[in-house]
Amino acid sequence: MTINPPANSICGAQDMAAWCWTGSGTLVSVREAAIGARGFLERLGMSKDECSKWELLLTEAGNNAVIHDVEGCRGEALEVHLLAGGHRILARVIDHGEGFDWPVSVELPDPSKESGRGLYLIQTLSDVVDYQRGASGNTLIMERQCETFPDLHGGQASSELEETLDEMTEELAGCYESLSALFRFTEESRTDGSIEEMGLNLLRSLAAVTGSDCGVLCLLSPDTGELKRVASLAVPTEDHWFSTPESEEIERTALRSRKDQWIASGPDAAFLSGANPPASGLAHPFFDNDEPVGVLTLARLHRADPLRAGEVNVIRTLSEFFMQRVMSFRFQKSLIETQLNRRELELAAGIQKSLLPMSMPSVPGFSAVGHCESALAVGGDFYDAFHRENGGVIFAIADVMGKGVGASMVAAITRAAIRSAVAHFETPAEMLKHAGGLLFDDLDRLEMFVTVVIGLVDPERGVVEIANAGHCPVLLAGADGVILSAEPLGVPIGLEPDPEITQSSFPMAEGSCLLAFTDGLIDPRASRNFESPEAVAEWLKANAANGPTAEEVKEALLDRLRDDSDAAPLSDDQTFLVIARDPSPLEPN
Amino acid sequence: MKTEVHNTILQVSEVQELTAGTANELKEEVRLRFVPELTDIELHCEGLEFVDSSGLGTLISMQKLAVLRGGSFRIINPSPSVMQVLELTQLHRIFTIIGN
């Protein structure tokens, strides 16, 4: 409802009377307005005392507007609106000047001071005062109950009339309150660095507008779904209603029911108990689309009158704005996390790549090749192959439990430990046992473990010796089609300080082919993978029969793994190593 | 505004209102007419119907002027509405008020 009559006019609605004045913002015209208002009230038959009080109220209000207009907008319109109905009179004084901050408490100055009594008079003479400083104007709202207001309508429907006036007052006041509170809150929230700061700011703004003593703001944690307090205003640490289960119950009920929960004392709210229960208040839930985000609770400890509709509107509007800011904060945070993750993946991929040999050792009559394809989440797979000083070729393949930079670092120390062990020990079992002992303390502390295979190919003797600590079986396909498998005979390293390692020894005849791989090839999460190590063995038997080179086996294996074009991206690293012994040149192939 | 001198007293009367718009002018006028021979100021309030917070400031300044001369400031016959403002701001405790 808006009232917009011509300037300086009286409008008589059916159940109330209104008077409006618009003039320039000077001290002289302020008096003119106050005298005009007095005349209006006199014509309504108000008592002389009531008229004098309003004359003083409006003079003080107008003077304040003019005196605080340091920007020099004097002459710009000053508006005075009066509404009278039922037993109440309401005035709004609107100016477009600088405005001022209404003090937290208005007190009388020292008797010898010549100024500083205006606000005190306004506060004392009004039953309700509200000052809103805003971008488009400052509004001072004053309201008084009056005993002698004559019944304009022969005693009819006076309660109805009062109701209408109530609604109108609220609507008018709420509108201005919302606008200026929103303006101030948005201004201040620009500099807030965190959701907590912003939440406290919200509570402060709303407590000021609604006359609440204290408040609590809770948000649902997006991770755990629990209701967590992010800000509280003037809530004593203990022995207070806000720390009782009841206050939490009201918050939860608000979220569950998706409705504002009114806190009220008196017979309607016998459920309120606990230490220092509030006299009135509201728990307001807020939602992002349909998703619950949080609850805001405001309470008046000493005022039993419920929040007015205008005040509830401000609470809803500012909560909505706050919720939008929270969502945008969270979005930004997740964006940063994604970027960090990507950076970590890049780092981990770099480390992993640096662990692989630049080239495979070359041995006449043998071919060797490795492959390591990283999953999106980089892991700790690696393989290694190099000539041993006192003859033979060492190969190793390992899989570190875990992913990311941590797994890559563990892969790096594992590789170093293996290389060191190779220089000091004769057999793969001894090497692996030594490396496992070296790494145990670190892995134990990190609660990680590594599955490792170390193999030694002796081209002179045509033998391969394999030690396997918890890793996938290493397969050897003979030219005769027989598959030998070096099973994981020991536990992964990192689980025992002094692991028991045994080794397998297989002949590596001409035309045979060795395949070592990580469990990325048999990971059930990717449909193109093998179902089991046995399926890998079947595949190797079929594809290594004709004495192919290591490179040929690798290509065939990659073809097999990629033949499902719809397959999901890799969920684990796929790493394998192929060593093939050339077939006998005498055998026709 | 009208002023008269009786012995050492400056009598101020015929003031219709004491407000932010008129207070400074009145204050200056009283200061000028409160010549050194005078020690007391009396404000006769017949016809004074309205005083705002700036007007109260003027009253306080008149009181200070008189006290500085070793004299006194008296408010004579204030109307009920003027009296009400004085009471609301508790200034009735510091002013000498005569009549009514």
- The answer to whether A115 contacts B61, with C-beta atoms less than 8 Å apart, is no
Write phi, then psi, for A489 (nearest 5 degrees): -85, -20
C-alpha to C-alpha distance for A89 and A149, rounded to whole angstroms: 9
A189-193, A370-374, B57-61, range with the lowest pLDDT: A189-193
Q: Which of B51, B54, B65, B94 to mutate to test the interface with A (most CBs of A within 10 A)?
A: B54
The pLDDT value given to residue A151: 47
Q: Which residues contact A10 (CB under 8 A, 6 or more apart)?
A: A17, A18, A19, A40
Q: Beta strands B9-13 and B40-44: pairing type?
A: parallel
Q: Which domains does chain A have, with CATH numbers?
A: 9-185 (3.30.565.10), 192-332 (3.30.450.40), 357-581 (3.60.40.10)
Q: What percent of chain A has pLDDT over 90?
A: 31
Q: pLDDT category, A162, cuts 50, 70, 90? A: low
Nearest-Cα distance to chain B for A201, in Å, is 35
pLDDT at A463 over 90: yes
The pLDDT value given to residue B35: 94
Residues in chain A within 8 Å Cβ distance of B58: 114
A11-15, A82-86, A548-552, range with the lowest pLDDT: A11-15
Long-range Cβ contact pairs of A159-166 (< 8 A, separation 24 or more): A160/A15, A161/A15, A161/A16, A161/A85, A161/A86, A162/A85, A162/A86, A162/A87, A162/A88, A164/A15, A164/A16, A164/A85, A165/A15, A165/A16, A165/A83, A165/A85, A165/A86, A165/A88, A165/A90
Nearest-Cα distance to chain A for B55, in Å, is 9
In the block, which residue shows the tokens 């190099």?
Answer: A386
The answer to whether A99 and A68 are in contact (CB under 8 A) is yes
Consecutive H or E run containing A483: strand A483-486
Q: What is the CATH number of the domain that holds B77?
A: 3.30.750.24
In the block, which residue shows the tokens 């480390």?
Answer: A351
C-alpha to C-alpha distance for A207 and B74, rounded to whole angstroms: 46
The answer to whether A532 and A500 are in contact (CB under 8 A) is no
B69: containing domain: 2-98
Nearest-Cα distance to chain A for B58, in Å, is 7
Q: Residue B3's closest CA among A392, B14, A244?
A: B14
Question: Which position has the higher pLDDT, A273 or A133?
Answer: A133
Q: pLDDT category, A7, cuts 50, 70, 90? A: very low
Q: Does B24 contact A at CB distance below 8 Å?
A: no
Question: Which position has the higher pLDDT, B51 or A280?
Answer: B51
**Per-residue pLDDT tens over the stretch A81-117:** 888 877 788 898 988 887 888 888 888 999 889 888 9
Question: Which position has the higher pLDDT, A158 or A189?
Answer: A189
Touching A: B residues 26-55, CB under 8 Å: 50, 52-54
Residue A80 backbone class (left: φ over 0; alpha: ψ -120 to 50; beta: rest): beta
Residues in chain B within 8 Å Cβ distance of A31: 17, 19, 21
- The answer to whether A117 contacts B60, with C-beta atoms less than 8 Å apart, is no
pLDDT at A171 over 80: no
C-alpha to C-alpha distance for A102 and A124, rounded to whole angstroms: 14
C-alpha to C-alpha distance for A555 and A558, rounded to whole angstroms: 5
Count the neighbouring beta carbons within 10 Å of the beta carbon of residue A139: 24
- Our count of domains for chain B comes to 1
